[in-house]
Each structure stands twice: as structure tokens, then as C-alpha cells.
């Protein structure tokens, strides 16, 4: 510890009064500031003491901003984030060398004077008067600490920071009054500890612990005399004495501090001379801050955690309060990210899609029954360089995702099937399902009716001309038959489908409600991968939806637990319906379009999806204990890329299908995530195959049959095929008052009421 040098004399209040009187009368220099005449102070010489006492004296000291740690579910470090790199430590964890060095160079009489050093002030006044300028100041360490508190209060607001350091007599007097209060309240040792924790040491390092790690890659408790002298020397001017940018200037400053320490008897003359001959001995540790430093490709998940914190009222009643709490840091946030699952996600992505590809992929894994996000990654890394982005391709816009999400293609058909079953449609329901047909009209919606264009009706068709019904639900799900699901949603209406999907957390990527059009069943809506993964987890959880969560627990800088948001679970469909969907989607993986996604050691269910012009391809699937969504499409800036004759991950694809590219990515990601973990099976139901009536000779597609007044399903017509436009409705712009797709996004499977659409 620095030795305390005894001293008597005037009390702090007496010093302040006498000092102000001297300053006002002389109108010269106080602590490096040219004072105005007495009138400008608003204090007469006679009234100086009482005026000073009337100033506010309570200094509110905010918690020091410091680094926060974001951990995975096993407690492993994902990333360290901070607005200021600082680790607050007690004085017992600071080397005695740094305590002596900072006192020696900044305030040699620190332990002898009060909050204000009258001798120092008089010395500064005399020196500055002799020099004819401002060559010496007289701020005590306590006053410097108070100024740093002002700066800390200002946060990252440049205007407030400027106010905190402005060279005005009013601020200086306030600083002095607060210094008196602080010394009474804290005492010398605590002020010294606080000072060394709050002070800026350059190179983004705040506080002596961060500085010791930055310059010497060690803890503050292990600092030598020379290292301590160098750090203490930086404080006066972090840019001028920066050892990284000007080693010689830093050495000169260090040696000055060393000599001051010797003059005060803190070290011997021999120690001083030996230390001056030493090199600086820098061992620089580069700043590692923010989600860009996250391991295993978890930068986007890290950013999702930050957005969760900033947007959830559990962490503060107002947006401003949450932002301030995040900026102050010192938090330890344990997340739901499973390191095994995350490593598997990133490994699968790296295997199948290169970051330099025009095509990008995003993969998100969610645990059914808990809503816990277990993995999140994408092929375009987190960053600012080439082939990097800060857009999280897995999440909705408000959480850092793209403006709209991505059209989901035939993966949406599962919601239509579930809604139909909930409405009482038998699982054996059959529809004629021709290769091509007009959209039935009118169709009930939540707010009226959707009607096809009489003069130029919108049509829908299947992927292959050989896909001609009649088909049962089981067959239609396995083969992803477009005309079947358009007939189904036309039968039950759009509203039951979108209402059920909404109850499963499904909304557009920009937060808009799902479109009230029959084409929603074919994936016209633009939705985020996380949303789809979590919605399908509802099927795995036998009909109970659980909202997604990313944070398991959190503690504040003092280690006190913070209440975190919990998943909210609600039954949204019967177990019978969910078990039926699980059975149907098992068939998709075992015998249908999703065969390439099938896991080797456990049951898995899922659905493929491909949008118009093959601008996006999906596989969304699940086991009883893990659900995942894989999206493949144009990367940032290339969202309208048609995935035909394209090379992805070094492999050429004539056409991209949901089962062909997303399917294998899903298989590898889920397979690794679930390795050596339990393999429960689904509760399945028996779904009989329908007895098909023989087709009339030469009939390419069965004619439709009336199912409801005004509804005709399965009718084969010669109407125009709609390939998808950016806005508008059945045949003419503006006829969809409730649904306008974002500019530049084309229809998945025909969003304008019809469309060709890929269904694989």
C-alpha cells in the first residue's frame, strides 16, 4: 500500500472556502482553468463560503460499465460483449506497485490533504502565473475520480461526454463540492480503488485490470514496478503516451513515474535506475469484444440474445432502461445454446454450402416442449467483410433478420392439414387433385371471401404432369401435391388455417399477419426459419406450442440472479391431430419427398418446400426431442437468385429441391446434434389407404366435384397460370386489401391466388 503521509492544517470545508476566496479575488488560474472575474462566479468574496455550501453535494455514482459474458447451456463462453472493456476488482487484487505509481504521478500528497489540495492550488497558481499560461493543474485524485464519474454517467452520448469534461468554472466548483462529499463517504482507500477501476488507460481498456490484460496479458495483482509505472503514466494522456503507437514516448513517461516513485521513497534509487533500463515488455492482447468474436458460428445467436435482452420487459421497464443496463454490462447470461448442437449445425453448413456461394443457408434447432433454441447458424458469417453479413437469416426483422423472411413453399401445407383435421376433416379425405386447375372461388377468409378472377382465373398446378389424382391426405403429403392442398383450404376456408398457424407462433417475417388468400397453403407467406422450426416443434410436442427462448438464467454484476423470460406453453391442437400429422410427416421422410433427410438411427418427420422460380428451398423436420428448419436461397443482396443450374458447396445442381439440398443439411445437423442422445419414437396413428376408383380411359385428370355451394374443387380449366407478382390479387392489382407482399419478393407456389410453384 502507498504510505500515508501525515499532515494537519485546515479542514476540507475551510480549504474550499479559502481557496475560492483566493481564486475570486485574484481572477487567475485554478487547476488549469482561467477563472473569470468575481461577478461571473455569482459569488462575492464575502459570500464565497456560504455560496459554495449551497451547491448540491450528492454525487450519484452509476454502476461501472464492464464486460458481460454470454455462455452456452454448459457454461462455456460464447462471447464477451461490452461498451467499455472493464473488469471491476477490489483493491486487494491490485498490485501495491500500481497503487504507489498512480499516487506518485497523479497526486503525490493524496494521503496528506483532504478532497481539495490547497497547497497544490497555490503552487499551480504561482507556477501558471510565472509561465504566463496553463502549465500545471491541481486536481486531486478525488477530483479526478469525480470527473470520471461524470464521464461514466454520460455513457456513449458524445454531447453529454463533452459536458462532463468541459473546462468551465461551474463544472470545476461542482467537482470540488462532490469531491468533499465523496471523501467523507468513502475514504481514501475506497476512492483509490474506485479511481483505478474507472480510469481510462487507452486501447479500449477501462480500469487497471483490463489495462493489465491489454498491455501485458496478466492480472493487475501481478504488475511489476515498471509495468505499473507505464500504466500510471498513460492516464494523463492515453493517446500521447500510448505504448502501442509511440514506444519511446511511453518509455520517457514511464521513467518519469519511476523517478517520482523513487523521490517519494516508494522504491530505492537502485530499483529506479534498473527499471529505467528495462524495455516496456509489452505482451498485447487484442480486444475481443462483441458477437463477432463468438465461437462455433454463434455470432448470430449472440446477437439474438442481445435483441432479446433489449426488447423484453423482464430486463427493464423501458427501452431506455434496458439499453442502459446492457451498456453497463457486468452481466453473466447463460443461454439455451447446446454446444454439441451448435457445432453440428456449423459443421453441416460448412460441408454443404460455402460462404463464397451466391446461395446461402440458415439452420435453426429448437427443443420441443421447452422452446429452447439449441442451435443457430448460417453460411454467411457474422461480420463486415466480403461474404459476411450482420443480417441474421434465421430470425424475423425485429430480432435482426431480413426485412420480410422467406417464402416457405410447401412446408406450410402441414398447417393446412392440421387445421382441416381440427375442423373434423377425416384423415382419409380424398380430392380429385388434377395436375392443373383453377383456384376454387369463393373461399371464406377471416374477414370475408376471396374470389378468383372470372375473366382470367388464377390457376395452380403440381410439380410434375404425372401427378394426377385422386389422392388421399397421406399420399398428398408424401408427394406434396399442390392441387390437393388448394382444394383442402378451399373446403375449410383460409381462416382456420391462418388462425391455427398464428397460435403456433407463425407470422410474417416483418411482423405482419398471414395473408388471407388460398395460396397461403402453398407457402406464399414470408416467414423466418426460427419461426418454422418452433412451429413444427408443436407437432413433436403433441399439439402444445411453446414460445422460443434463448436465455436460461442471468446474474447482475454483483452475482444476483435476474428474472428472465420463460417459455409460454399452450395447447393449440389435440394430441390426436398432432399424432396424425406426425404420422403423415413420417411418411414424407420414409417414402416421400424428404427421403434424403431421413436419420439413420431414429424416427424423423418433416416436410419439404420449394418456391416459385426456385428462389428458396426448405426442409423443416423434427424428432420427438429436436426440431429444425433449413432454408436455402439467395444470400444478402441476391434474394431473387433462381436456383437452377447452380453450384452449391462445390456441387452442381440442375434444379434445387427442398429434399435435395436442405434435406441433407438437416440430416447432418440433426444427426450430430442428437448423437449419443435418447432416440424416442413418435406416437403414431393408423391411416388406411383409400380405395381408388378406376380412372376412365384416356382421362388425364379427373373432373372436379361440388363440395359446398359456390365451391368447385379439382376442376380442370384452361385458365391462365399465374407465376407470381409482387402485389395485387386474382388477376388484377389491388384486389387483396389484406395482403401485399413486399416489393421484390415473388410468390412461392403462386401467391397471387394461383401459380406454378415447386413442391419438392
Secondary structure (DSSP) of 331-352: -EEEE---HHHHHHHHHHHHHH
Does residue 758 surpass a pLDDT of 50?
no
613 closest CA partner among 407, 395, 443: 407
Q: Does some domain include residue 595?
A: yes
In terms of domains, do 66 and 156 share one? Answer: yes
- Give 129's pLDDT tier (boundaries 50, 70, 90): low
Mean pLDDT, rounded, for 342-359: 96
Helices (H), 493-558: 494-503, 529-540
Q: Does some domain include residue 506?
A: yes
Q: What is the pLDDT of residue 152?
A: 83
Sign of CA dihedral 476, 481, 483, 489: positive
The C-alpha angle with vertex 364 and arms to 359 and 367, in degrees rounded to 5, equals: 165
The grid coordinates listed for 281 are 515488455
- List, as one string, the DSSP characters of 677-740: S--PPP-----PPPPPPPPPTT-SSPPPEEEETTEEES----PPPP---SS--SSSTT--TT--
In terms of domains, do 621 and 735 share one? Answer: yes
The grid coordinates listed for 400 are 435482426
Q: What is the 3-state secondary structure (H, E, C) of 78-94?
A: EEEECCCECCCCCHHHC
What is the C-alpha to C-alpha distance for residues 317 and 319, in angstroms, rounded to an integer?
A: 7
Q: Is the distance from CB of 719 to CB of 573 less than 8 angstroms?
A: no
The residue range of the domain holding 584 is: 336-693+714-760
- Give 288's pLDDT tier (boundaries 50, 70, 90): confident
Q: Is the distance from CB of 450 to CB of 730 less than 8 angstroms?
A: yes
Taking CA atoms, 716 is separated from 23, 156, 433, 459, 480, in Å, by 98, 65, 9, 9, 19
In terms of domains, do 106 and 255 share one? Answer: yes
What is the C-alpha to C-alpha distance for residues 489 and 484, in angstroms, rounded to an integer?
A: 9
In terms of domains, do 237 and 152 share one? Answer: yes
Query: How far is C-alpha 389 from the chain's CA centre?
Result: 13
The model's pLDDT over 22-58, given as tens digits with 9 standing for 90+, comes to 444 333 334 333 333 333 333 333 444 444 555 555 6
Q: What is the pLDDT of residue 156?
A: 66
Q: What is the pLDDT of residue 163?
A: 74
The grid coordinates listed for 715 are 376442376
- Number of separate helices (H) and strands (E) present in the chain: 23, 26
In terms of domains, do 166 and 269 share one? Answer: yes
What is the C-alpha to C-alpha distance for residues 440 and 665, in angstroms, rounded to an integer?
A: 37
Cis amide leading into 470 (omega within 30): yes
The C-alpha angle with vertex 69 and arms to 290 and 66, in degrees rounded to 5, equals: 80
Q: What is the pLDDT of residue 378?
A: 96
Question: Residue 166 in 3-state DSSP?
Answer: coil
- Give 69's pLDDT tier (boundaries 50, 70, 90): very high
What is the C-alpha to C-alpha distance for residues 621 and 619, in angstroms, rounded to an integer?
A: 6
In terms of domains, do 347 and 270 share one? Answer: no
Containing H/E element for 662?
helix 662-673
Q: Does some domain include residue 409?
A: yes
Of 227, 260, 276, the domain-final residue: 276
448 closest CA partner among 735, 720, 731: 735
- Residue 18 maps to which CATH number? 1.10.3810.10
> CB-based contacts of 417: which residues, under 8 Å, 6+ apart?
473, 477, 485, 488, 581, 584
Number of other residues whose CB lies within 10 A of the CB of residue 398 = 11
- List, as one string, the DSSP characters of 461-477: E-SSTT--S-EEHHHHH
Q: What is the pLDDT of residue 125?
A: 60
Q: Does some domain include residue 331?
A: no
Of the candidate ranges 17-31, 355-369, 438-452, 606-620, the one whose mean pLDDT is the lowest: 17-31
Q: Is the distance from CB of 612 to CB of 748 less than 8 angstroms?
A: yes
Does residue 386 surpass a pLDDT of 90?
no
Q: What is the pLDDT of residue 639?
A: 62
Q: Does some domain include residue 28?
A: yes
- List, as one string, the DSSP characters of 357-376: SSEEEEEEEE-TTT-BEEEE
- Listed ranges 24-28, 155-159, 736-740; the one with the highest mean pLDDT: 155-159
Q: Is the distance from CB of 670 to CB of 626 less than 8 angstroms?
A: yes
Q: Is the distance from CB of 121 to CB of 128 less than 8 angstroms?
A: no
Of 233, 256, 276, the domain-final residue: 276
What is the C-alpha to C-alpha distance for residues 208 and 191, in angstroms, rounded to an integer?
A: 14
Q: Is the distance from CB of 509 to CB of 404 less than 8 angstroms?
A: yes
In terms of domains, do 268 and 360 share one? Answer: no
In terms of domains, do 513 and 648 share one? Answer: yes
Does residue 275 surpass a pLDDT of 90?
yes
> CB-based contacts of 158: which residues, under 8 Å, 6+ apart?
none
Higher pLDDT, 61 or 235: 235
Q: Does some domain include residue 4?
A: no
Measured between its terminal Cα atoms, the distance across the chain in Å is: 74
Domain count, the chain: 2
Q: What is the pLDDT of residue 726?
A: 27
In terms of domains, do 360 and 272 share one? Answer: no
Taking CA atoms, 573 is separated from 415, 526, 576, in Å, by 11, 23, 8
In terms of domains, do 93 and 192 share one? Answer: yes
Q: Does some domain include residue 526?
A: yes
Of the candidate ranges 2-16, 54-68, 277-291, 314-328, the one whose mean pLDDT is the lowest: 2-16
Q: Is the distance from CB of 514 to CB of 397 less than 8 angstroms?
A: no
Which residue carries 376454387 as its cell? 440
Helices (H), 557-613: 575-591
Mean pLDDT, rounded, for 361-378: 98
- Residue 608 maps to which CATH number? 3.40.710.10
Beta strands in 146-235 (DSSP E): none
Mean pLDDT, rounded, for 351-360: 94
- Listed ranges 39-48, 517-526, 634-643, 723-732; the one with the highest mean pLDDT: 517-526
Does residue 748 surpass a pLDDT of 60?
no
The grid coordinates listed for 199 are 480510469
What is the C-alpha to C-alpha distance for residues 412 and 607, in angstroms, rounded to an integer?
A: 9
Which residue carries 382456420 as its cell? 496
What is the C-alpha to C-alpha distance for residues 590 and 272, in angstroms, rounded to an integer?
A: 79
Of 276, 301, 325, the domain-final residue: 276
Q: Kindly provide the b/e burial profile for residues 145-171, where b requires at least 16 CB atoms within 10 angstroms of the residue's own CB.
A: bbbbbbbbbbbeeeeebeebeeeebeb
The model's pLDDT over 393-439, given as tens digits with 9 standing for 90+, comes to 999 999 999 878 899 999 999 999 999 999 999 999 999 999 999 99
What is the C-alpha to C-alpha distance for residues 745 and 406, in angstroms, rounded to an integer?
A: 9
Q: Does some domain include residue 312?
A: no
- List, as one string, the DSSP characters of 372-424: BEEEEEESS-BSSSTT-BS--TTS-GGGT--SS-EE-GGGGHHHHHHHHHHTT
Q: Is the distance from CB of 360 to CB of 636 less than 8 angstroms?
A: yes
How do strand 29-30 and strand 616-623 relate by DSSP bridges?
unpaired
In terms of domains, do 553 and 625 share one? Answer: yes
Query: For the purposes of burial, counting CB atoms within 10 Å of the CB of 738, is it exposed (0-12), middle (13-18) or buried (19 or more)?
Result: middle
What is the C-alpha to C-alpha distance for residues 570 and 547, in angstroms, rounded to an integer?
A: 9
Question: Residue 449 in 3-state DSSP?
Answer: strand
In terms of domains, do 264 and 353 share one? Answer: no
Amino acid at each position: 500500500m502507498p504510505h500515508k503521509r501525515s499532515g494537519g492544517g485546515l479542514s476540507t470545508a475551510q480549504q474550499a472556502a479559502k481557496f475560492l476566496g483566493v481564486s475570486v479575488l485574484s481572477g487567475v488560474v485554478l487547476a488549469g482553468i482561467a477563472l473569470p472575474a468575481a461577478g461571473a462566479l455569482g459569488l462575492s468574496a464575502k459570500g464565497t463560503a456560504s455560496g459554495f455550501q449551497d451547491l448540491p453535494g450528492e454525487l450519484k455514482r452509476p454502476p461501472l460499465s464492464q464486460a458481460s459474458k454470454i455462455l452456452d447451456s454448459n457454461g462455456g463462453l460464447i462471447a464477451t460483449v461490452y461498451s467499455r472493456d472493464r473488469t471491476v476488482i477490489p483493491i486487494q487484487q491490485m498490485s501495491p506497485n500500481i497503487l504507489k505509481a498512480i499516487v506518485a504521478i497523479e497526486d503525490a500528497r493524496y494521503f496528506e490533504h483532504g478532497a481539495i489540495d490547497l497547497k497544490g492550488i497555490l503552487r499551480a497558481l504561482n507556477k501558471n502565473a510565472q509561465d504566463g499560461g496553463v502549465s500545471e493543474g491541481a486536481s486531486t485524485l478525488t477530483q479526478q475520480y469525480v470527473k470520471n464519474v461524470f464521464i461514466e454517467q454520460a455513457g456513449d452520448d458524445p454531447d453529454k461526454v463533452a459536458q462532463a469534461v468541459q473546462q468551465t468554472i461551474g463544472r470545476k466548483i461542482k467537482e470540488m463540492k462532490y469531491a468533499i462529499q465523496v471523501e467523507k463517504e468513502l475514504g481514501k482507500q475506497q476512492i483509490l480503488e474506485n479511481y483505478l477501476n474507472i480510469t481510462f488507460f487507452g486501447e479500449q481498456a477501462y480500469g487497471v485490470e483490463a489495462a493489465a490484460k491489454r498491455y501485458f496479458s496478466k492480472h493487475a495483482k501481478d504488475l511489476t514496478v515498471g509495468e505499473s509505472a507505464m500504466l500510471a503514466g498513460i492516464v494523463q494522456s492515453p493517446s500521447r503516451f500510448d505504448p502501442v503507437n509511440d514506444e519511446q514516448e511511453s518509455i520517457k513517461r514511464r521513467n518519469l513515474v519511476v523517478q517520482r516513485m523513487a523521490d517519494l521513497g516508494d522504491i530505492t534509487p537502485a530499483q529506479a535506475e534498473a527499471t529505467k533500463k528495462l524495455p516496456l515488455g509489452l505482451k498485447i492482447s487484442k480486444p475481443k469484444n462483441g458477437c463477432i468474436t463468438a465461437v462455433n458460428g454463434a455470432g448470430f445467436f449472440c446477437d439474438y440474445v442481445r435483441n432479446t435482452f433489449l426488447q423484453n420487459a423482464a430486463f427493464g421497464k423501458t427501452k431506455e432502461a434496458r439499453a442502459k443496463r446492457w451498456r453497463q454490462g457486468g452481466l453473466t447470461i447463460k443461454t439455451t445454446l447446446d454446444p454439441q448442437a451448435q457445432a453440428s449445425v456449423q459443421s453441416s453448413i460448412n460441408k454443404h454450402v460455402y460462404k463464397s456461394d451466391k446461395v446461402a443457408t440458415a439452420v435453426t434447432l429448437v427443443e420441443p416442449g421447452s422452446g429452447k433454441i439449441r442451435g443457430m447458424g448460417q453460411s454467411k458469417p457474422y461480420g463486415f467483410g466480403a461474404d459476411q453479413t450482420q443480417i441474421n437469416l434465421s430470425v424475423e426483422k425485429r430480432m435482426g433478420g431480413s426485412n420480410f423472411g422467406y417464402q416457405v413453399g410447401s412446408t406450410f401445407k402441414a398447417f393446412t392439414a392440421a387445421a382441416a383435421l381440427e375442423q373434423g376433416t377425416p384423415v382419409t379425405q380424398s380430392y380429385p387433385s388434377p395436375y392443373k386447375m383453377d383456384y376454387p372461388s369463393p373461399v371464406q377468409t377471416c374477414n370475408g371471401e376471396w374470389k378468383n378472377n372470372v375473366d382470367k382465373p388464377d390457376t395452380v398446378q403440381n410439380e410434375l404432369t404425372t401427378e394426377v389424382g385422386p389422392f388421399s391426405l397421406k399420399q398428398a403429403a408424401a408427394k406434396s401435391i399442390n392441387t390437393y392442398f388448394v382444394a383442402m383450404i378451399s373446403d375449410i376456408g383460409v381462416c382456420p388455417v391462418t388462425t391455427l398457424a398464428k397460435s403456433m407462433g407463425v407470422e410474417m417475417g416483418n411482423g405482419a399477419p398471414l395473408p388471407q388468400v388460398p395460396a397461403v397453403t402453398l407457402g406464399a407467406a414470408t416467414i423466418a426459419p426460427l419461426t418454422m422450426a418452433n412451429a413444427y416443434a408443436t407437432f413433436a410436442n403433441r399439439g402444445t406450442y411453446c414460445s422460443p427462448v434463448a436465455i436460461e438464467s442471468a446474474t447482475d454484476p454483483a452475482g444476483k440472479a435476474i428474472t428472465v423470460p420463460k417459455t409460454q406453453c399452450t395447447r393449440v391442437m389435440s394430441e390426436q391431430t398432432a399424432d396424425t400429422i406426425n404420422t403423415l410427416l413420417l411418411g414424407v421422410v420414409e417414402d416421400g419427398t424428404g427421403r434424403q433427410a431421413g436419420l439413420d438411427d431414429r424416427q424423423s418427420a418433416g416436410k419439404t418446400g420449394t418456391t416459385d422460380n426456385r428462389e428458396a428451398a426448405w426442409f423443416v423436420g423434427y424428432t420427438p426431442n429436436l426440431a429444425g428448419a433449413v432454408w436455402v436461397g439467395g444470400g444478402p443482396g441476391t434474394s431473387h437468385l433462381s436456383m437452377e443450374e447452380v453450384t452449391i458447396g462445390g456441387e452442381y445442381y440442375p434444379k434445387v429441391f427442398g429434399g435435395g439440398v436442405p434435406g441433407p443439411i438437416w440430416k447432418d445437423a440433426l444427426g450430430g446434434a442428437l448423437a449419443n442422445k435418447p432416440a424416442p419414437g413418435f406416437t403414431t396413428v393408423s391411416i388406411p389407404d383409400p380405395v381408388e376408383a378406376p380412372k376412365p380411359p384416356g382421362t388425364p385428370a379427373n373432373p372436379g366435384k361440388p363440395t359446398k355451394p359456390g365451391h368447385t374443387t379439382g376442376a380442370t380449366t384452361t385458365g391462365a397460370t399465374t407465376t407470381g407478382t409482387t402485389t395485387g390479387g386474382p388477376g388484377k392489382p389491388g384486389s387483396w386489401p389484406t395482403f401485399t407482399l413486399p416489393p421484390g419478393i415473388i410468390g412461392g407456389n403462386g401467391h397471387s391466388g394461383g401459380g406454378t410453384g415447386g413442391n419438392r
